[in-house]
Amino acid sequence: MFWKSTYNEFVKIAAKPRSYIGIGAITIIIVIILFAMKSDGLSFISFVTAPFEQSLAFEGNILNGNLIAFIILQMLIIHVPLLIALVTGDLVSGEGAMGTIRLLLTKPISRTSILFSKYLAGCAYTFVILLWMAFLALIVGKWIFGAGDLMVLNSDGLIVIQQKDLGWRFLCGFGVAYLSMVMISTLSLTLSCFSENSIGPIVTTMSIILLFTIIGALDVPSLNKIQPFLFTTHMVSWRNFFEDPLPTKKIIESVSILLIHIVGLLSIAVYKFNRKDILS
């Protein structure tokens, strides 16, 4: 019954027009970035490399598909949560708003199974969004700009990662980025269990992200203590895979904190959904 319910959730997500807003928005944004990079990319690169040009000589195809993919991932990972919450925040509350939850919860399947079906479908949708983003950024980016070594600028300086060393880094980077997006899906699904309309959970998800990002950015001693525990701090941990040497401890710590958040929020969602009186 669980898999049948999950299949139903896939059917619903695929049929909902709002599910295509995310895919459409990502496509438009990435096409704009690719177009901008194609026309003005070299001047953009020289802006980054200028401080190093007196001591270093840059050769080869610097503006390549790998760099484009890295830039796109960095730019979009902040905005993708909204597109994901648009669908996952609607999974439970949308049924309440439409009134279909009354029929759904009078079927011989436990509420926990229904919630997990929705969660699984939401995670699959998140995966599709990220996969589409990866395809456009990496595959289309390489097709337009070609391949090459990746030049990454971080607080310690400039790191150049050889092309042959990039495949697994992108794979793991997208993996951790996916985990942080799953965290967003879990948050919006949990909020969705508390709401009877779909706008509430979406707006609240974005407000929480905004609030935590601001707290994370403030260099105040009292806030510094909580910053490592905020999920927003770890949403950019995919970047750790483009460090040399690899900060394994930091990566494990980020993944653990994201997983703890996911499990904690999911437990709240299960508890709330099972005890919820359906009054809509």
Partner 1 sequence: MQNSSEKIVEIKHLKKDFGKFHAVTDVSFDVYRGDVFGFLGPNGAGKSTTIRTMLSLIRPTSGDIKLFGKDLQSNRNYILGKIGCIVEKPDFYKYLSAEKNIELFARLSGVNVTKSKIHEIIDFVGLKGREKDKLSGFSHGMKQRLGIAQTLIHNPELIILDEPTTGLDPQGIIDIRNLILQLKNEQNKTILLSSHILSEIELIANRMVIINKGKSIVQGSVSELLNAQELIVSFSVDNIDKAKILLEQASMKEVIDKVEETNILLHISQEKIPVVNKLFCDNDVNVFSIEAKRKLEDYFLKLIKA
Least CB distance to partner 1 at residue 206 (A): 24
145: nearest Cα among 58, 56, 65? 65
For the chain, how many residues are written? 280
Binding stretches for partner 1 (CB under 8 A): 1, 4-5, 7-8, 11-12, 15-17, 98-100, 102-110, 275, 277-279
Nearer residue to partner 1 within complex by CB, 11 or 218: 11
Least CB distance to partner 1 at residue 111 (A): 9
Least CB distance to partner 1 at residue 189 (A): 19
Nearer residue to partner 1 within complex by CB, 100 or 154: 100
SS3 159: strand
Residue 177: CB partners within 8 Å, gap ≥ 6? 73, 77, 130, 238
> Which amino acid is it at 265?
L
Nearer residue to partner 1 within complex by CB, 86 or 177: 86
Least CB distance to partner 1 at residue 118 (A): 13
Nearer residue to partner 1 within complex by CB, 15 or 57: 15
How many other CB atoms are there within 10 angstroms of residue 151's CB atom?
Answer: 21
**Distance (Å, whole) CA 190 – CA 270:** 8
Least CB distance to partner 1 at residue 28 (A): 23
Least CB distance to partner 1 at residue 62 (A): 47
Sort 12 into a burial class: Cβ within 10 Å, 0-12 / 13-18 / 19+. middle
**Distance (Å, whole) CA 15 – CA 18:** 9
Residue 42: phi and psi, rounded to 5, are: -65, -40
280, two tokens: 């809509």
Contact 9, 118 (CB under 8 A): yes
